[in-house]
């Protein structure tokens, strides 16, 4: 019954939202599969290392960024695989990249309550945070990856 209710809810959305959810689902799955490789192998596909994109946005980009943020964060709660912070950040970055909107992926570390090192990833485009902003202030940034708006898609055909 619960599954049927979720399907009905999904079908109640307009077709653009359903397509955006499907895109988020596919990119979340793709990003999760990427994580089976060593990070050093996937890092070059994330953009320019130690760089950040501008805090400026075009007015028409705000709506797109907010809808991508919402889709990634909603869909990530319903995947059968773990869609934690890095997976969400990579998926959001690639969705923005498809629309030629720049973004910066941040990687940070901190210590948890028992002193163990923990990591977190979050994504920003312009002044807006797409993923991971709920706890980002607890982490010290150790690396950034900038994907400029004009950067061509990798492996584009």
152 — pLDDT class (breaks 50, 70, 90) = very low
Query: Could you give the C-alpha distances from 74 to 64, 83, 131, 152, in angstroms and in order?
Result: 15, 11, 11, 28
SS3 102: coil
Is residue 153 scored above 60 in pLDDT?
Answer: no
157 — pLDDT class (breaks 50, 70, 90) = very low
pLDDT one-digit tens code per residue, 74-126: 999 989 999 999 999 999 999 999 999 999 999 999 999 999 999 999 999 99
pLDDT one-digit tens code per residue, 120-148: 999 999 999 999 999 999 999 999 999 98
Is residue 155 scored above 50 in pLDDT?
Answer: no
How many helices (H) and strands (E) the chain has is answered by: 5, 5
């Amino acid at each position: 019954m619960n599954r049927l209710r979720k399907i009905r809810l999904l079908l109640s959305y307009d077709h653009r939202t359903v397509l955006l959810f499907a895109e988020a689902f596919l990119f979340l799955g793709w990003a999760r599969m990427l994580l089976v490789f060593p990070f050093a192998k996937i890092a070059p596909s994330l953009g320019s290392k130690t760089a950040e994109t501008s805090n400026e946005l075009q007015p028409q980009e705000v709506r797109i960024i907010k809808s991508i943020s919402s889709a990634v964060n909603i869909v990530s709660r319903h995947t059968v695989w773990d869609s934690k912070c890095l997976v969400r950040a990579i998926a959001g970055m690639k969705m923005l990249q498809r629309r030629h909107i720049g973004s910066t992926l941040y990687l940070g570390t901190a210590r948890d309550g028992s002193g163990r090192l923990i990591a977190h990833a979050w994504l920003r485009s312009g002044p807006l945070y797409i993923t991971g902003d709920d706890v980002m202030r607890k982490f010290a940034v150790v690396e950034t990856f900038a994907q400029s708006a004009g950067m061509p898609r990798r492996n584009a055909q």
